[in-house]
Amino acid sequence: MPTDPVVVKNVDFRGRNVTVTLDRSAKVRGLTLHNAGNKVELEAIGPSIFSTTLPELSERFRTHGERQWALLARTTEGNEVDVYHASVDYLLPGTSCVRLSANSAGKVRLAQRFRRVTVTGATNDRDRLLIIGRIDPPERLKIVLKSSEQTIKPAEYAFHADGSYTAVYDLTTTGAEGGKVAALAGGYHLKYGETTNRADSWVRAAGKLAIRPVNCFTEWNTLRVEGKNSSAVSVIASPPWSASERSKYGRYRLRNKDWGPLTYSIVFESYSGKNANDNPRAIFDAINEIRPEIPLYWSVRDRRVDVPTGGIAIVEGTAEWHKALATSRVLVNNNNFPYYVEKRSGQFYLQTWHGTPIKKLLNDLPRKKTPLTYRRNMKAEAGKWDLLLAQSNESETRLRSAFQYKGEVSVCEYPRNYRILTSKITEDQIKTNLNIDINGKKILYAPTWRDQNRLSAIGTNEDLESIELLADLPNTTVLVRGHHMSKVLPIYNDSVIDVSSYPHVEDLIRIADILVTDFSSVAYDFQLTGKPVLFYAKDREEYVEHRGVYELGENIGKWTSDPSELVVEVGKLLNGSLNATNSGESLDGEVESLAQYLISLARDEKWPVETQKGAFNGC
């Protein structure tokens, strides 16, 4: 900075109008704003006050980009010199379409946008998030919360003549089964556009929000609204942890706390808390029908999981979650609990697993293909199981080998499959819920995930080719079901429906005429219906070599790796007889017997060892 700089006391903006107030000691003949190839003179309207209106930006700046201006002073000697700030208030960005731009040397620089949409603050009101900001120049625009998977528009929106606005977003929505769940999870950005579908421009942080994030604590989420270094505004929706539950020391205390004696209650978890379905759900439904007074907890990853009526949601990591896991006499899971969960003396852990494996698991894989931490975690996990369910004798052999499990195993049909064979809901009701043609043919396309890419997606070019060929068959709808370890990319075809979020895959099995899968255990469940299964994978040889399989399921259905052959085979089957069979007469009794057994364990009733082994029919 020069020894005798020209200093401004204040720079004021009203849209494109700029007013500069200099320090009275400044000796200048005039002020100008410079941009590459552009120069704008400021008019003197007082001894130290200058004003001008910047030219409007061209259309190419409408959606993105900004123009930078440098403020220069013409001294009494005729030289043009930089003008400097008297203070650092400019670090708080303004809301006008023209505002100060930060400069490490303290020089006055302006940033001009065609339109500036900003957020100045945020707060919450019970189940709602309130965003406050301004649009300059004033214009009615759509302001949404946007992630890679969701676009959430405001439930209420108030816009004022000066460009200020308030957008209100609901933090809850209706879950897959009709319950009230959190609407947000993960990371979002605020974006704007003329319509919701075209809201792709970034909303910017202004005022104190640019330097200080806002935290909102609600029953459904902990929300953090923050201005990023790029000036974009992010909204992070994490589980509803308290300040102590989210700290490292707080988590340590919760994990090591003495929560008291065991109680008459049961904890269920499915797929690491991602949903409330599968085998644990079938067991829950049976217990809830028999003894609804028992506290039945559902361990969930966040409040987006729709817990069934009669269940109590406990979010992983909260004090309520730690207490329930430490004091419930019975634990039921189809995967594994976090590594730090210890089973206490007197607790009973039922591991249902989630399918008869076709692809090799854990210890049946080469060591280099399985992380050491996961092998150690699962070794400790399997050591806690008191009983493992297996769908067949062959499944028992594979699961024992994969997990090096030495404990008790009950071989019986999976509880979840009771819904396929004896559910009270009709097939027409399921089709109506999915908004699909009651009379048309249905193909269930349900491949497994690929461990070369743990975020693998259905809907890549290869998948799309096969799915659209199937969808082109006359009077046919393709139901695409993604694995819980993968996601489904948007597929724009009226005859293709993404049913990955539908809560019960068993319902989809019931209404499907044909199953197309690859290495998924869903094939064993589908064969209960007596309807045909087709195995299809273009990468069959590569997958078998890379991952390894116990078998290829050729005793269940035909294999193909060619999309054209797949369509031909499906067409033949659709044109033939597709009569289903029902072998679930005794399954209802098996699930009820298992439920009664777990109830007795929760009540701490002592059973002789020989009685425990045959506690429920068929297992």
pLDDT at 459: 52
Q: Classify residue 320 by burial, with Cβ atoms within 10 Å: 0-12, 13-18, 19+.
A: middle
pLDDT in tens, 369-405: 888 999 999 999 999 999 999 999 999 999 999 999 9
pLDDT in tens, 161-174: 999 999 999 999 99
Helices 248-256 and 319-327 pack at an angle, to 10 degrees, of: 20
pLDDT at 609: 46
Please give the Cα distance from 340 to 318 (Å, whole number).
14
pLDDT at 339: 93
Under a CB-based contact definition with an 8 Å cutoff, are residues 8 and 72 in contact?
no
Average pLDDT over residues 274-288: 96
Does residue 461 register a pLDDT over 60? no
pLDDT at 46: 87
Does residue 431 register a pLDDT over 80? yes
Report angle CA 323, 607, 587 to the nearest 5 degrees: 85
3-state secondary structure of 12: strand
C-alpha gyration radius of the chain? 31
Pseudo-torsion of CA 21, 26, 32, 36, nearest 10°?
-110
Q: How far is CA 385 from CA 332, 406, 526, in A?
A: 10, 10, 28
Please give the Cα distance from 191 to 204 (Å, whole number).
9
Residue 447 CB coordination number (10 Å): 23
Helices 587-602 and 278-290 pack at an angle, to 10 degrees, of: 70
Query: How large a percentage of the chain has pLDDT more than 70?
Result: 92
Q: Within a 13 Å sphere around the CA of 107, how many CA atoms are in the beta-carbon half?
A: 16
Q: Where do we find the tokens 């035909």?
A: 558
Q: Which of 128, 224, 209, 107 is nearest to 171 (CA)?
A: 128
Q: Pick the range with the lowest mean pLDDT from 100-104, 259-263, 299-303, 421-425.
A: 421-425
Average pLDDT over residues 338-343: 94
Q: Where do we find the tokens 């096969």?
A: 466
pLDDT in tens, 34-54: 998 889 999 999 889 999 999
Tokens of 89: 């208030």
Tokens of 546: 């890379």
Does residue 426 register a pLDDT over 90? no
Q: Which residues contact 213 (CB under 8 A, 6 or more apart)?
A: 224, 225, 226, 227
Average pLDDT over residues 220-237: 95
pLDDT at 578: 61
Please give the Cα distance from 526 to 509 (Å, whole number).
6
Does residue 580 register a pLDDT over 70? no
Query: How large a percentage of the chain has pLDDT more than 90?
Result: 68
Does residue 303 register a pLDDT over 90? yes
Does residue 560 register a pLDDT over 70? yes
Q: Which of 347, 528, 513, 336 is nearest to 441 (CA)?
A: 513
What DSSP string describes 329-377?
EEEEESS---TTPPPPTT-EEEE--SS--SB--GGGS-GGGS-HHHHHH
Residue 527 CB coordination number (10 Å): 18
pLDDT at 56: 93
**Average pLDDT, whole number, for the chain?**
90
3-state secondary structure of 325: helix
Please give the Cα distance from 536 to 571 (Å, whole number).
14
What DSSP string describes 487-548?
EE-----TTEEE-TT-S-HHHHHHH-SEEEESS-THHHHHGGGT--EEEE-TTHHHHHHHT-
Please give the Cα distance from 457 to 487 (Å, whole number).
5
Band of residue 489 on the pLDDT scale cut at 50, 70, 90:
low
Band of residue 617 on the pLDDT scale cut at 50, 70, 90:
very low
3-state secondary structure of 206: coil
Q: Which of 281, 278, 251, 408 is nearest to 341 (CA)?
A: 251
Please give the Cα distance from 293 to 299 (Å, whole number).
18
